[in-house]
């Protein structure tokens, strides 16, 4: 019996092993799209109901336009790389909410929210594209589901709660806040160093594919660190790459990103 159990655990592990496109990193994800997407769409709907959309039509349109351009790049990539059914399952949406928190996120299936508080850090359209590319990259690489998978190991049953489609359940909401940063009041969610670096790289490829200036991704992190005034929030200390490391990594990756974008942008 024990053997069967451990064998099935190994089998499950192998079946849930996959590779992140572009970076080639191996990951374990126990959460299927069929399970996560309905939960994601319900959480997004609930979030929008409880938050105020920005009344700045110009800025909202800008977020929308950049989002559409980045999503087209991601869609193009997926269709050219055996991810057609995944591309078809996305329900892209881009909203700007009135909130001073420096925050932006993308939930599974392309559900994006920008907070007005992050606009000064973005500073311009290319800056918006850099943040958009980064957040969409977290969703594209399924970082949240990976977090959920490791949380599952620590706390059995967590996944079942997180996959609920009741967008009013406080337990589910709390989990989505931890896993995807939805409704977080402390600002941008600190994923692990591995996930942040990966989102930086993928985001850069997507923004170049969409026709934006990738150098602005570097400037975004310069502005982010200026805003922090050298003071890094404690939650970033252990797992988050420092802004300087991030800036150096982005600079180093730029030529590779340009080459990758060129490769994936041909039809």
* Residues lying near Zn ion in the complex (CB under 5 A): 196, 199
The answer to whether residues 206 and 137 touch, using CB atoms and an 8 Å cutoff, is: yes
Q: How far apart are CA 85 and CA 87, in angstroms?
A: 5
Q: How far apart are CA 173 and CA 78, in angstroms?
A: 30
Q: How far apart are CA 267 and CA 263, in angstroms?
A: 9
**Residue pointed to by tokens 């909401």:** 173
For Zn ion, the closer of residues 119 and 217 by Cβ is: 217
For Zn ion, the closer of residues 42 and 141 by Cβ is: 141
Q: How far is the CB of 82 from Zn ion (least distance, A)?
A: 26
Q: How far is the CB of 191 from Zn ion (least distance, A)?
A: 5
Q: Which residues pair with 94 in a beta bridge?
A: 112
For Zn ion, the closer of residues 209 and 220 by Cβ is: 220
Q: How far is the CB of 121 from Zn ion (least distance, A)?
A: 13
Q: How far is the CB of 7 from Zn ion (least distance, A)?
A: 37
For Zn ion, the closer of residues 56 and 178 by Cβ is: 178
Q: How far apart are CA 38 and CA 126, in angstroms?
A: 32
Q: How many CB atoms lie within 10 A of CB 157?
A: 8
For Zn ion, the closer of residues 97 and 199 by Cβ is: 199
Q: How far is the CB of 181 from Zn ion (least distance, A)?
A: 8
Q: For 16-124, where are the alpha helices, taking DSSP H only?
A: 33-50, 57-80, 84-89, 119-122
């Amino acid at each position: 019996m024990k053997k069967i159990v451990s064998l099935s655990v190994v089998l499950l592990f192998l079946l849930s092993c996959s590779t992140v496109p572009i970076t080639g990193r191996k990951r374990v994800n126990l959460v299927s799209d069929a399970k996560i997407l309905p939960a994601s769409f319900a959480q997004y709907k609930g979030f929008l109901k409880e938050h105020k959309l920005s009344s700045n039509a110009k800025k909202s349109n800008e977020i929308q336009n950049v989002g559409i351009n980045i999503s087209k790049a991601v869609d193009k990539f997926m269709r050219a790389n055996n991810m057609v059914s995944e591309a078809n399952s996305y329900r892209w949406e881009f909203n700007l909410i009135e909130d001073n928190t420096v925050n932006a996120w993308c939930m599974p299936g392309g559900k994006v929210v920008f907070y007005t508080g992050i606009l000064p850090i973005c500073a311009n359209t290319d800056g918006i594209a850099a943040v958009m590319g980064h957040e969409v990259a977290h969703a594209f690489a399924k970082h949240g589901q990976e977090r959920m998978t490791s949380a599952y190991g620590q706390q059995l049953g967590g996944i079942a709660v997180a996959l609920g489609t009741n967008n009013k359940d406080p337990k589910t909401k709390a989990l989505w806040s931890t896993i995807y940063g939805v409704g977080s009041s402390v600002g941008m969610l600190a994923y692990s160093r591995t996930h942040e670096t990966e989102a930086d790289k993928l985001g850069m490829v997507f923004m170049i594919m969409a026709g934006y200036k990738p150098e602005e991704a570097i400037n975004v992190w310069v502005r982010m660190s200026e805003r922090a005034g050298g003071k890094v929030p404690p939650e970033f200390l252990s797992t988050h790459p420092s802004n300087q490391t991030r800036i150096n990594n982005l600079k180093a990756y730029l030529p590779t990103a340009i080459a990758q974008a060129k490769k994936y942008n041909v039809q």
